[in-house]
Amino acid sequence: MIANITIVGGTHGNETSGIQLVRNWQQFGVPSAYKGLSIDCYLSNMAAIDANVRFVEEDLNRQFTPALLARQPQCQEARLAHALNQQWGPKGESDIDLLIDIHNTTSAMGATLIILQADEFHTQLARYVKQQMPEANILVEDEKPPAEHAYLCSIGKRGIMIEVGAQPQGVLRADVYDLTERMALAILDFVKAYNSDSVPELPPCDVFRFIENITFPLSEDGERLAMIHPALQDNDFAPVSAGEPVFLSFDGQPQTWQGETIYPHFINEAAYHKLHVAFATATKAQL
């Protein structure tokens, strides 16, 4: 039974679609079909939202590991994480049955549902969302136990993320907003079916399972030597095999992928600028 749902926007203060969805649902109410659910809509990092930045001091969505929550907070977002953990948690003992944290990305990832585990609930959820939104992508980040994740949504008993793109930071696009809302409603439809024990039997669906982040080629003094190849740009979740171009160096040479076939995503995400992350890789699987 999913009794308590919390929907969060503004974990990154310049990701506008989740912020606007929360504001709209706060102002106009959750759509009437879902009035029977207990839904709390919340903006998490108000200081970052007001400043129209991802974060003020450090990434709020990397503050929720057990280790970080156990130690004295050292920055504004760490203090906020401790306060949210107090309010919604503590992690591992939360009353929130499902925490939905809404994000957007400059990568052309379309409407992506990120789940942190592949247990029965999340498997059913993924299949249901994929059936309602065949264009949706399901990304499974279960390379570690859910409780070990640093994500805000990991405070909840169950935590998932909606990640939609492409949308520049600080910009609200109607198409991205629409995908975000449609995915949120698909999740709430699933919860209604789950609670009334009427989830249909659904076939396995395609998912992408995170492997690792790939960084840009860098010089010895840390300067980028290449950009994303135009053949890779905007092609999130399409397969890339050995020999296919992934980078274009600034002297005009393509650089190709070496290794097993991968499904790149978060291609050219603005927020990974400082880390020089070019894209993340995934395998394709069935859930």
Residues 238-267 that bind a copy of itself (CB under 8 A): 248, 250-251
Coil, strand or helix at 270: helix
* 93 labelled binding-site residue: no
Task: List the one residue from 150, 186, 228, 262 that touches a copy of itself (CB under 8 A).
Answer: 228
Q: Which residues of 149-172 are buried (b: 16+ CB within 10 A; e: fewer)?
A: bbbbbbbbbbbbbbbbbbbebeee
Verify binding: residue 24, a copy of itself, rule CB under 8 A: yes
Region from 17-25, 120-128, 183-191, 193-201 binding a copy of itself, contact rule CB under 8 A: 17-25
Kindly list the distances between the CA atom of residue 134 and the CA atoms of 91, 110, 130, 140, 215, in Å, as whole numbers in the listed order.
33, 11, 5, 17, 31
Residues 141-200 that bind a copy of itself (CB under 8 A): 166, 168-175, 177-178
Residues 60, 56: Cα–Cα separation, whole Å = 9
Sequential DSSP letters for 154-167: GGSSSEEEEEEES-
Distance of CA 36 to the CA centre of its chain: 26
* 265 labelled binding-site residue: no
Sketch the per residue contact string, 92 through 121, with a copy of itself: x for CB under 8 A, - otherwise.
--------------x---------------
CB of 36 to a copy of itself, least distance (A): 22
Q: Please report, as ranges, the residues that interact with a copy of itself according to CB under 8 A.
A: 20, 23-24, 27-28, 52, 106, 166, 168-175, 177-178, 227-230, 233, 248, 250-251, 268-270, 273-274
